[in-house]
Amino acid sequence: MRIALVGYGKMGKIIDEIATKRGHEVVARLKETPTVENLNNPDVVIEFSLPEVAFDNIKACLENKIPVICGTTGWLEKKPEIEKLAVENETAFLYGSNFSLGVNLFFALNEKLADLMKNVDEYSCQLEEIHHIHKLDAPSGTAISIAEGIFKHNPKFDAWKLEETQDNQLGIFAIREDEVPGTHSVFYRSEVDEIEIKHTAFNRNGFALGAVVAAEWIKDKKGNFAMKDVLGL
């Protein structure tokens, strides 16, 4: 495939390396806004940029009927508009708060546990995420996805908030520490014990590989998708 990388930071460089090893051609490496000219006719765009420019980047690609794989978090209030654009332009859009295979399995486990705990009033729930000090958004997009998975199964909660859980608001502790790639935990605590599920990333390679696999999967598809579609979860 011909792949254009929009947002060429640490993740972009790892994606570049993995895509090339898997036999793809990287035809653009952009730090600027994508255009027809500088994208160089790709089959798909992989977008890992910054929250403040992600919407414009994705919009420009979809309007030119180029499928987009997006891993940028912190801009999701405009996601419905992007999903509408993908349909109108008869192309494809796939957003992932996290492309790691392990994290997407963790999402499924989190939903199963939330369903088991929904009627057990003795336990309170709390989330925690730890990321590197360069991460701009808090909480992480992955933590928000985890919270939304809990909302689907536990009627006690319908919103999230930073810091401690309070009433119907599920608490998320967002910690920024050194060069941590990403650690996410869900705790259920009672007066006598605690249940915890946790995912720890050792490096960014899992995120990058997942993004390339998603790009391979989305070829010739139309509509809006997520990593659970790619992995059949």
Q: Is the peptide bond before 139 cis (omega within 30 degrees of 0)?
A: yes
pTM, 2 dp: 0.80
Q: Residue positions in the annotated binding site for (S)-2,3,4,5-tetrahydrodipicolinate?
A: 132, 141-142
**Residue 131: active-site member:** yes
101-202: CATH, from 3.30.360.10, 3.40.50.300, 1.10.10.10, 3.40.225.10: 3.30.360.10
Question: CA gyration radius for the chain?
Answer: 18
195-203 contacts at long range (C-beta below 8 A, 24 or more positions apart): 195/113, 195/117, 195/123, 197/106, 197/109, 197/110, 197/113, 199/100, 199/102, 199/103, 199/106, 201/100, 201/102, 201/103
Q: What is the pLDDT of residue 233?
A: 82
Q: Are 164 and 171 in contact (CB under 8 A)?
A: yes
Banded pLDDT at 203 (limits 50, 70, 90): confident
Banded pLDDT at 179 (limits 50, 70, 90): confident
Question: In the predicted model, what is the mean pLDDT of residues 118-146?
Answer: 92
Q: How many residues does the chain have?
A: 233
Q: Are 63 and 91 in contact (CB under 8 A)?
A: no
φ/ψ of residue 188, rounded to 5 = -115, 115
Q: What is the pLDDT of residue 119?
A: 93
Least confident residue range of 50-54, 119-123, 190-194, 204-208: 204-208
Q: What is the pLDDT of residue 57?
A: 96
Secondary structure letter of residue 75 according to DSSP: -
Banded pLDDT at 101 (limits 50, 70, 90): confident
Out of 24, 59, 135, 199, the active site residue is 135
Q: Residue positions in the annotated binding site for NAD(+)?
A: 71-73, 96-99
Superfamily of domain 2-99+205-231: NAD(P)-binding Rossmann-like Domain (3.40.50.720)
Q: What is the pLDDT of residue 117?
A: 97
**Residue 135: active-site member:** yes
What are the pLDDT digits (tens) for 59-98? Answer: 999 999 999 999 998 899 999 999 999 999 999 999 998 8
- Looking at the chain, the domain(s) classified CATH 3.30.360.10 span 101-202
- Looking at the chain, the domain(s) classified CATH 3.40.50.720 span 2-99+205-231
What are the pLDDT digits (tens) for 135-161? Answer: 878 899 889 999 999 999 999 999 999
**Cβ burial, residue 198 (10 Å; 0-12/13-18/19+):** exposed
Indicate whether 49 pLDDT > 80: yes
Out of 24, 59, 131, 199, the active site residue is 131
Q: What is the pLDDT of residue 74?
A: 85
Q: What is the pLDDT of residue 137?
A: 81
Q: Residue positions in the annotated binding site for NADP(+)?
A: 31
